[in-house]
Amino acid sequence: MLQGFAVAIRMGATKRDFDDTVALHPTSAEELVTMR
């Protein structure tokens, strides 16, 4: 899963982009897209 986030960041994704996504429950994706 982290590789997917790495690709997104390399392609220009920002913290705001991650904030605007919906996390799949229950996964560690929730930890990344709900960081404040």
Q: How far apart are CA 11 and CA 24, in angstroms?
A: 22
pLDDT above 90 (res 4): no
Range of the domain at 26: 2-33
* Total domains present in the chain: 1
The larger pLDDT score, comparing residue 4 to residue 25, is at 4
List active site positions.
25
Distance CA(14)–CA(25), nearest Å, equals 22
Q: What is the pLDDT of residues 9-19, one digit of tens each?
A: 899 999 888 88
pLDDT: which is higher, 7 or 23: 7
Rounded mean pLDDT of the chain? 79
- pTM for the full predicted model: 0.51
* 24 vs 10: CA distance, rounded Å: 22
Tracing tokens 């390399």 back to the chain, one arrives at: 10
- Which residues lie below 8 Å from residue 32, measured CB to CB, with a gap of 6+? 5, 18, 23
Name which residue leads in pLDDT, 15 or 2: 15
Is residue 36 scored above 80 in pLDDT? no
